[in-house]
Chain A
C-alpha cells in the first residue's frame, strides 16, 4: 500500500505500456493524438535501439497502417524514406510465369517498405514530441501489480508508474502475458529466416518478389536507394533450421553469391549492405488478449509467419482498435481499464488475427510441399489466394457483427 501512497494523481497515466518497440510506441503516439496519457517502459536504451546495426530488418507497412501513421502525425516524419511496393511478383522457384499482384490504380501501393531503424527513429522522435507520452527508457520493471483500483509498475530504480490499464507490447516472449497465465498456442516451423539488406546492380522498380523454393520462400523487398544512390532491397531468406548456422557462418561475399544465385540474376550483382540476422519461424496465438486491466498488442498477442509481411501490420491493427475503444470509453467517462471496453477490444481483434494467422500458415504449408504435383498445386493455390480475398472479406464482415467495422485510424481518420 505504500506504493500507492507515493503516487499523486497527476502521476496517473491512462495507459502504462510495457515495451517500447514499434507497436508499443505507436500506441503511445496514437493515444497522445487523442488526448490520452501514457507511460512507455522499456529496458532497452534508445542509444542502442537506434544504432545502425541494431535491427537490420525491414517492414512492409500496409496501406491501412500507413493511413493510421498519417492520422497520428508519424507519416510526415518518414517522408521519402519508404519505398512503395508497386507490385508483388510470386513465382514457383525461378520457373517462368507466376502471378503478379498488381493493385488497382485507385488502391495505391500494396504497402511501403521501411527499414525498421527508420521507423524506430521517426516513432521515437514523435513520442518525444508528444505532450501526453512519458518515456521510461531505459527502465526495467521489477514488479507489476494489477487490481481493481489500477495498475502499478515498480521499476528497478525505485520509481513507480501508475495507471488505469496495462498494455503488454513486449514481443513474442511477453513476460506479462506469462504472468497473467494466458496460454499461447505455438507452432514452430522447422525453418529460420535470414534477414539482410543488399545492394544490387539493377533498379528494382518497386517490385517485390516472393520466390518459392522447396525449403521455403525467398523474398526480395524493395528499399529506397542509399545516400550514394545505390539500389537496395531487403531479403528474407527462409532456410531449413539446420542450415541456418552454416548460412550465417559464410563470409559476406560467399553469402552474397549464394543470394545472387537464388535471385536468378534478377537484380544483377549483389553485395551485402547490412549485418545478417536470423529469426526462428513460428506462429503463436494467445488464447486471450485481455485480462483484468490488461491488453496484449502486437507480437505479445500473436505472431505469424513473415511470408506475407503482415506481422507488424497486425500489431498496427491492434493499436487502431484499442485506441478507438479507449477514446470512446473516455468520452463516456469510463475507466480505461473497464472490463466492457476490454471485452470489445477482445471481440474486435479475435477473428482478424486468427484469420490472418490461418491464411499465412496455409500459404506457407502449400509451398512447403515437394515435387511436381505440389508445384502444380501451388500454381493453382496462388490463383486461389487471389480469388479468396474478397470472399474472405465478406465472410469476415458478416461473422463479426458490430465488430466488423474497420477501426477509424485505419481509414486515416482520428477517432
Chain B
C-alpha cells in the first residue's frame, strides 16, 4: 500500500528522451513491428472493460471506470495497455524487465501527458503494494517459472482485486498461426515465441487455483477473415482469463 519508496515521476534526461522518443515512434507506429499488438489492443481492452464493469458493477457508458483504483500492468512493453488503463482513470504502475522498453514507455507517456509509474523490475520485487487490477498480457509464456510468476501476481492482488491474463494456447493451430504463419511472414518479429512454453487454459487454471485464485472467465481470441481478431468461444489460438481472489466461501 505504500508506494513512497518508488519515484512516481521519472527524471528524463533530454538527450535520452530524444533518443527514446525516436524509438517510441517505431514502437508506437501502428504499421511498425508491433502492428499486431496495435490491432489486438481494442479487442483485449474490450474484454478488460467488460470484466471491470462486471466485477465492480460499473456502467459501461462511462469513460473512467477505474477512477480511484490502482492498476498494475506486468510486462508492459512500450505502454500500449498501460496508457489506456491510465485514461480509464486508474493510477497505473507498469513493469517491464527490459529497461529500454521502460524508457520508450516513459517518453511516450510524457507526450500523451499521462502519469504512469514505469519501473524496470520484475513483479517479484514488489514488496507490500497491492493493486485492484492486475493485467499481464502475452507474458506468462515467456517466463521460466510460470507457477512462481502466477504466485507473485496473486500476491500483489488486492483482496477484492481482478487479475486478467492473456496467452497463446498450446495447440497445433497456435503453432501454425503464431509460429509458422505470423512469425514466418514477419507479422510478429521472429523468435518471439517458443511453442513448447505455451500454456493450455486448464494448465493455467491449475496454476491460478494453486495461487489461491478463482477463474471466473475464459474467453478465446480468434481470427475471423471478415473482422480480424475477435473475442470468441474458441480458445485454440489465444485466450484471456479473468481470476479473482478465492475467498474460500465458494
Contacts and interface: CB of A to CB of B under 8 A. Distances in A.
A330 B112 CA distance: 14
Contact of A329 (B42, B83, B86, B108): B42
Contacts of A228: none
B53 to A, nearest CB: 10
A9 B38 contact: no
A107 interface: no
Interface stretch (B5-13, B22-30, B149-157): B22-30
A331 B49 contact: yes
A337 to B, nearest CB: 10
Given A148-B25, A149-B111, A340-B30, A334 B42 contact: yes
B42 A35 contact: no
B45 A334 contact: yes
B122 interface: no
Contact of B84 (A9, A149, A334, A339): A334
Nearest to A343: B30
Nearest to A402: B227
Interface in B29-84: 30-31, 38-39, 41-42, 45-46, 49, 60-63, 83-84
Interface in A34-76: 35
Interface in B86-128: 86-88, 108, 111-113
A145 to B, nearest CB: 13
A401 B227 contact: yes
A402 to B, nearest CB: 4
Contacts of B108: 148
Nearest to B28: A148
A99 B63 CA distance: 50
Contacts of A329: 42
A93 to B, nearest CB: 46
B85 interface: yes
B42 A332 contact: yes
Given A329-B42, A331-B61, A333-B86, A12 B226 contact: no
A402 B227 CA distance: 6
A323 B216 CA distance: 33
Contact of B112 (A35, A335, A341, A402): A335
Contacts of A331: 49, 60-63
Given A148-B24, A401-B226, A332 B46 contact: yes
Chain B interface category by residue count: 20 to 34
A334 B41 contact: yes
Nearest to B31: A339
A35 B45 contact: no
B226 A332 contact: no
B38 A339 contact: yes
A334 B227 CA distance: 19
B24, B86, B111 — which one has the most chain A CB atoms within 10 A of its CB?
B111
A359 to B, nearest CB: 24
B39 A340 contact: yes
B215 to A, nearest CB: 23
Contacts of A340: 30, 38-39, 41-42
Given A333-B84, A334-B45, A339-B30, A35 B39 contact: no
Contacts of A35: 63
Contacts of A333: 45, 49, 83-88
Contacts of B84: 332-334
Contacts of B61: 331
Contacts of B31: 339
Interface in A314-372: 329-335, 338-341
Contact of A402 (B45, B83, B85, B226): B226
Interface in A130-150: 148-150
A150 B108 CA distance: 11
Nearest to B49: A332
A369 B160 CA distance: 73
B118 to A, nearest CB: 17
Contacts of A149: 111-112
Interface string B164-178: 000000000000000
Nearest to A8: B113
Nearest to A403: B227
Contacts of A401: 226-227
B167 to A, nearest CB: 21
Contacts of B24: 148
Nearest to A4: B111
A356 B235 CA distance: 40
Contacts of B30: 338-340
A105 to B, nearest CB: 34
A324 B62 CA distance: 14
Contacts of A334: 41-42, 45, 84, 87
A148 B113 CA distance: 12
A341 B43 CA distance: 12
A329 B63 CA distance: 10
A401 B30 CA distance: 23
9 contacts: A148-B108, A149-B112, A150-B112, A331-B60, A332-B42, A332-B49, A333-B87, A338-B30, A340-B30
Interface of B: 24-25, 28, 30-31, 38-39, 41-42, 45-46, 49, 60-63, 83-88, 108, 111-113, 226-227
Given A332-B88, A338-B30, A401-B226, 7 more contacts: A9-B113, A148-B24, A148-B28, A332-B42, A332-B46, A333-B45, A339-B31
